[in-house]
Amino acid sequence: MADTILVTGGTGYIGGELIDQALAAGKTVHTTVRNLAKSEPRLRARWPAAGKRLKVFWAELESDDGWEDACEGCDGVAHVASPFPLTVPDHADELVIPARDGALRALENAYEAGAKRFVLTSSAAAIAYGHPPGKSLFTEADWTVLENPDVQPYHRSKTVAEKACRDWVSAHAPDMEFCSINPVVVVGPVASDDLSTSVALVQRLLTGKIPALPDVGVGIVDVRDVARAHLLALDAPAQTVKGGRFAVSDRFMWMSEIAEVIRERTPAYAGKVPSRRLPSFMVRLLAPFMADLKQVKTELGRHRDVSGRHATDVLGLEYIPAAEAIEATVRSLVDRGIVKF
């Protein structure tokens, strides 16, 4: 069991929830942030009773500075921090290089500091993309096909980073207890108005910024379950997790189903949620001129169901139903005044 852990990216959506659960479990938590002066007071305000059990360090994915101090004294590391942009970068390397190098930087420093357990926050993006159109069910045995030029930069970055870490452990630290957590689209309660890309999708449905529903879908998992999966992986017996890969997903949902859940469970907030469909031919027609639709184009009609069963069978993770996660997202956005009515 890891009693002192490092959670990278402490101001992030998953990182913050993981810190919350780790502190509640009695752990001492180190965390990294990119702006110490701005972020430490924010984190202290969120966990005012944590005291010395929460230690905040400056470190960036693209710099060696700060990582040695952040890792010192930690039994385990959860490397959550990774670039996840709201828009598509001009070149894939803008995401791939910092994601890969940052993950390796955290991994190497964790090993040098004597951490026995390293849990990488990877993604279903490293599992389910670039495959032939007929494939719709995916497990941890699958890898995103990097040779496919249609693979988007974010999916490419998560795949490259996870493979690089696994290769490094195999070559340099074969005794290290390394595993990855590979979530699908993460929603659920929010702690601030610094929204993840996934939660921003729900926000845009609520505010009418998505005026019509394209024929696309995503896997859904609650952020509380993603954090719980990390904690279980940090504390499980070595033989259970070493070299493991754990996709976390409750279920796949089409955009139309997500919109219907919002209308059924939170009707008071669903006035701008679209019900009409966006024809696929319109997406293809407009994609060359609209960056958002360019991403959507490759997903039209694609059913990508990433099974979360392995995490249940091995780690004992039980999922919050996707509909509950979506409802919690909506109510949290409204309660915090992020979406106003």
Which pLDDT value is given to residue 173? 97
pLDDT score of 293 more than 80: no
Which pLDDT value is given to residue 284? 74
| Domain spanning 4-335: CATH superfamily | NAD(P)-binding Rossmann-like Domain (3.40.50.720)
- 221 - beta bridge partners? 186
pLDDT score of 217 more than 60: yes
CA distances from 276 to 253, 290, 306 (A): 17, 20, 27
- Residue range 96-124, pLDDT digits in tens: 888 999 999 999 999 999 999 999 999 99
**Residues 246, 229 contacting (CB under 8 angstroms):** yes
Which pLDDT value is given to residue 258? 97
Q: For the chain, give the mean pLDDT.
A: 92
Which token pair is 40? Answer: 């430490």
Which pLDDT value is given to residue 285? 74
pLDDT score of 292 more than 90: no
**Residues 213, 148 contacting (CB under 8 angstroms):** no
Residue 232 pLDDT level (bands cut at 50, 70, 90): very high
Which pLDDT value is given to residue 95? 82
SS (H, E, C) the chain: CCCEEEECCCCCHHHHHHHHHHHHCCCEEEEEECCHHHHHHHHHHHCCCCHHHEEEEECCCCCCCCHHHHHCCCCEEEECCCCCCCCCCCCCHHHHHHHHHHHHHHHHHHHHCCCCEEEEECCHHHCCCCCCCCCCEECCCCCCCCCCCCCCHHHHHHHHHHHHHHHHHHHHCCCCEEEEEEECEEECCCCCCCCCHHHHHHHHHHHCCCCCECCCEEEEEEHHHHHHHHHHHHHCCHHHHCCCEEEECCEEEEHHHHHHHHHHHCHHHCCCCCCCECCHHHHHHHHHHCHHHHHHHCCCCCCCEECCHHHHHHHCCCCCCHHHHHHHHHHHHHHCCCCCC
Q: What is the pTM of this model?
A: 0.94
Rounded to whole angstroms, how far apart are CA atoms 79 and 240?
19
pLDDT score of 291 more than 70: no
In terms of Cβ atoms closer than 10 Å to its own Cβ (0-12, 13-18, 19+), residue 59 is buried
Which pLDDT value is given to residue 84? 56
For residue 335, give the amino acid letter. D
**Residues 310, 139 contacting (CB under 8 angstroms):** yes
Rounded to whole angstroms, how far apart are CA atoms 204 and 210?
6
The predicted model gives 288-300 an average pLDDT of 66
What is the rounded end-to-end Cα distance, in angstroms, of the chain? 45
pLDDT score of 26 more than 90: yes
Which pLDDT value is given to residue 92? 72
Residue 287 pLDDT level (bands cut at 50, 70, 90): low
